[in-house]
Every structure is written in structure tokens, then in C-alpha cells.
Chain A
Amino acid sequence: MSFYTDTATFNAAGAQSALSYHRAGGTAKALPAWIVRSASGSDAPPLVAIHGISRGAQEQAEAFARMALKTGRTVIAPLFSHEDWRGYQRITNRYRGDRALLALLRRLEQTGIVATDRFDLFGYSGGAQFAHRFAMLYPQRITRLHLAAAGWYCLPDRSAPYPYALGTTGHDEASWGCRMAGNRDAFLGLPLALYIGAEDTDRDTALRSTVALDAQQGFTRLDRIRTYKSAFEKQAWDRGISPRTSLTVLHGCGHSFADCIRIGGLDQHVFS
């Protein structure tokens, strides 16, 4: 099997777990992943953590390791490389990030590492963009959706064409909006946990800014996450679904995953 593991011992909080880098060779576009497994395995679903455009998969795996050890859960942090996965967060690019992630999860299950039929899905920044689109495509796979500091969202309504919402245009990409709309009721029924730094209000160069997007979702990540929460809840109520949402504002944090963990305790919120 062209799937092998480099294992390094990783110490956190006085306990020991294995932080492993799983490389998948042989298959074009196969995803590698950083994985944290504790010796005391739990039946709880694994946490799949999707990095932002800085590609901090290892950083996320290490950041969640302490809580993974404490709870006995497995963390899977796939790496969408700069070289192969430009624009991975959109999912619907030429190379399909959703299929690559599904394949990775299948391989991890086939090799006996962890059951991946259902899992918590976390994403930070660009990873949150990936995560909520993936969840709209495969809601039945998700036990809880955690979105942290996405730059912008695909709103689960028809207020704009895809990818800004699920409205349609004549463009081929609109099919994705229709596919996601087909799954909408299952998606809106998911527990949704949203996180944002209280100071994540910069309009930095990584933040997509257009007149239409600003008008639809707001000027900052803080504005936009509130817009998303409202749109999600409204759609849920309109469709007879009681939304299960939360928004945690992490004080003392800007747009920094490291600060969200260190200062805001994001890992504890995600594992709570």
C-alpha cells in the first residue's frame, strides 16, 4: 500500500501521543496529513482540521494535540500544498478538494487508523471556507461544524449567486450551488460553532473585498461571521429547523490561529 507513516513522539501537557505525518504516494493529488492519536482511543468522532492559506496543517495538529490527548480523540490535519492546491478552499476548482479529503479519510479508515464515517470538521480562515462548503456537500458525514475566522462565506440562501450564496446563474459553477442547496436541510440541522477574534477587524490583503461582497457580508471577518450566523439561523427557521449555533468571540485575538489557541483557548472551545 502506498500509504505510510513517519512517526515522531510528541509531548504535550506531560502526556505522550504520536504526532504522525502520513504521506500518500502514488495517487495524483492525494493528500498527506498530520495526525494526532492518543494511546487511550475514544469512540468519539475524530476532528478533521483544515488549515488556512498559510498551510499550517502541522501547527493545527500540534495546537489540538493537548485536548486530543485529554479526550482520547484523533485529530486529522490534511495538507493542501501550495503547489498542488491553489484555491483549495473553493472546493470546486479543477482539482476537487472534497474528493481528496474523502479519499484521505477512506484511506485512514482502511488502514485501521481511525473510523472516519462521521467526524467533527474544523477550519480556520481559508480552512473554514473549505469546511463549510464541504459540509454543505456532505452534511451527513459531519457531527459538528467548527468555523473560525473565515474571510467570507457561501450563505445558505439564494441571496447571491454561488459561491457567495446558493443562487444560480448561467455559469457552470452554479451547479455547485444547486448541489449544496439540495443538501441544505441536512446542513442546517448541523451543530454549528463559530469563532472569531475580537480584534479580527483588519481589512488585510488576504481578505477578499469587493463592493458586492462588502455589501452582502460586511467589511471585516467579524462583521461577516455575524452575517453568516444570522443567514444560517434565518434559513434554518424558514425551513422549519431549529438552528444549533454558537458564536464565540475570542478576546485579545486578531487574525492569528496561534493567538486564538494561546490567548483565546480555541482548542478548549472546539473540544468542549
Chain B
Amino acid sequence: MTSGTLTQTLARAKWAFSTRRVDPGDAAGLSTRFEDAGAGDLVLGRVMSIGSHRRIQLTTGRPSILYPEDLVVLACGARYAPDQFEGIAKLDADGADMLAGGGCLGQMRQRNSEMKAPTRIEPVGLLTSTDGTIINLADYALAPCPGRSDIPVIGVVGASMNAGKTTATAALVYGLRQAGWRVAAIKATGTGAFGDYNAYADAGAEYVGDFTDTGMVSTYLEPLSRIIPSMDRLVREGAEHGCDIAVVELADGVFQRETAAMLERLDVQDRFAGFVFACGDALAATGGVSVLRNLGIEPAVLTGKVSCSPMATGEAEAATGIDIVTKACLSDPAVANSLVHSMASGARLRPAA
């Protein structure tokens, strides 16, 4: 393929959200050494069949309906999503699996029984630069920067995927913004997608960042030696954008491999002023809080789907002794503001039962 043809081809392709930092003009060729592909490598692919992902999230922030034969640019990567797929960063020339709508292509290992088979993508080639090296998201990462920011960081963790973490994060961002804080909203772990990113931006975060900004399409199976500096870098980027507080969401549940490994580390815990824990019901609240307490973490408040039910709220508060707050509460500037200060002082937001 000539460079002119490649340029035209790439211009027609649907570039996934995870590639948003990439300059398409840097692509000078294609490699079919798919066996060499690793996490973050950029892949030009052609849609073979539509499966569970019927849309691709574009760099422009809108979803695009996929059709057979569509050309797409995705990043090779792994994914951990108990509600959807687990997959690894591996490509097969005969066809690969679209593991996430945000642009993660790999090989599915297992899937939730309620999920259809993944959308299949035929790898056309790995994008290469003028010197023939495969282009990787890491080539476009924020420049490394030693040292950490000292702005307060609130962690949002959850019992599982879809427990309400992103809703809580966005609500807290909104509440803090109303109280006058300039808020950085950061997704520190997970798989690149614009849903959370857009939710944070819509809530008024001054800075929004995720691990794709530090060169990862997904943090699954990435070493902590990469994930933790990535989180620090994003918080620092937020501070450099003028933010005076950061809300950091850790993906999936407290049992998820990387999230669990991070929370176990005292030096990671020390990076956070406190934690908000999102969960779906009273049992998840009890179990999640127990796990966190075993790690030495006392959540400041509980939230998530459990907070929608007064009965579940009562059960969970009785079982854990921790206040449960709704998303409306987190959106209230007085509550959000008190949450920040009470994390420092250990005070409760509501009277003890």
C-alpha cells in the first residue's frame, strides 16, 4: 500500500476513542507481523461480523454504528469485565475480538453468559511509523514527570462492575464543583472508553484523564510499576491544569486483580485522602467494607445502587456502621464539601444511629 493510499484508507477508518491522542499522519505503513502485537499497538482492522459491540466509540466522543466491512483503528489490548468479556492482548491474523467499544482488540478468553459473541475484526495491519516500528499508544502518552502532586485525592472504589462508581464519581465531581473546587476526574484503572470520560466532563471536571492518556488501552495485566505512576501522572496533570482536588475512580470491584493489588499497598493508600465505596446491595456493602477494612481502609461513605433503596440502606448502615449517601447527596455542595474535610478529620456526615 502506498503512503497516499494508506493516508486515504486511514482517513476513512473509524478511529476508536482509545486512539484519540494518536496523530494519524504518523502512520507510514502497515505490518502484518500480528504475532508481534502487544498491548497498545495500533491496528487497522476490517469488521467481519457484528456481535455484542454494535458501535464503536469514536475519538470525537460519539458512538458510531458498525457495519460489516467498516475499517476501524483500535488498540491491541486485554480486558477484564465480568459483565462482558475477559480477553488478552493477542491478535490472530484470521480474526480478532473487539473486547470493548472504546477500542480494545484482542483475543477473548471467556465471556458472561448473557453476552453475545464479540464483534469480529479482521486485522489488516499494525500501523507503523516511517522507521518501520509499530505505533503504540505509549508513543503519545503524557511525558513522564517525576514527583507527585500534593492536591487531595478522593478514591472511588466499588464492589463490582456496574455498582455505581461512575455515577458516584460524576455526582461528587458536580458537588465539589458547586462548592467551588476545581476538580480533576481521573479513571486510574479499567479499559479505555468514553462513557466514564464523558460523564466526568459533563459533571464539570476541569480536567479529565484516564490511563489511555498515559499510553495504556487497558490496565488489565499491566504491572503496578506502570499503573501507579500512571495514576500519579494523571493527578499531577490535573493539578497542572489548575485543579485543587482530584477524584480517582478505580475500575471494577475490590477483587479485581490490579485494583486489589493497588489497594493492598500502603503507599497507594497514602495517596488518597479517603475512599467512597459503591455497591449494589447490603450484602455487597458488608462484604466490600470487610475486604477494605482488612486492608486497613475505612470508607468515608457508601453509595451506589444500594442507596436507591431505603431498606437496603438501613441494612447496610446497620451492618457496616458507615453512612450511605445517594447520588443526590454527593451532588450537594454542602455534602461533597463536608466529605472532603471529614476525610481529613474522620468525622461522620450523619448522626450515628
Contacts and interface: CB of A to CB of B under 8 A. Distances in A.
B338 A137 contact: yes
Given A117-B180, A182-B342, A185-B345, A137 B334 contact: yes
A178 B180 contact: no
Interface in A148-207: 168-170, 174-186
B48 to A, nearest CB: 50
Interface residues of B, number: 21
B338 A102 contact: no
Q: Chain A binding site: helix, strand, loop or mixed by DSSP?
A: helix
Given A98-B333, A99-B333, A179-B334, A186 B341 contact: yes
A137 B339 CA distance: 11
B292 interface: no
Interface string B321-348: 0000000000011110111011011011
B198 interface: no
A138 interface: yes
Given A98-B334, A175-B351, A178-B351, A141 B180 contact: yes
Given A98-B333, A182-B338, A184-B345, A138 B180 contact: yes
Given A117-B180, A141-B180, A168-B352, A178 B333 contact: no
A182 B345 contact: yes
Contacts of A209: none
A78 to B, nearest CB: 16
A183 B334 CA distance: 10
A245 interface: no
B351 A183 contact: no
A181 B178 CA distance: 20
B178 A102 contact: yes
A140 interface: yes
Contacts of A99: 178, 332-334
A182 B351 contact: no
B152 to A, nearest CB: 11
A174 B348 CA distance: 11
Contacts of A174: 350-351
Contact of A182 (B179, B181, B347): B347
Nearest to A105: B180
Nearest to B348: A178
B349 interface: yes
A194 B46 CA distance: 72
Contact of B180 (A140, A177, A183): A140
Given A102-B179, A139-B341, 6 more contacts: A98-B334, A102-B180, A105-B180, A140-B180, A174-B351, A175-B350
The 8 closest A-B pairs by CB, nearest first: A182-B342, A168-B351, A179-B338, A182-B338, A182-B347, A183-B341, A174-B351, A137-B334
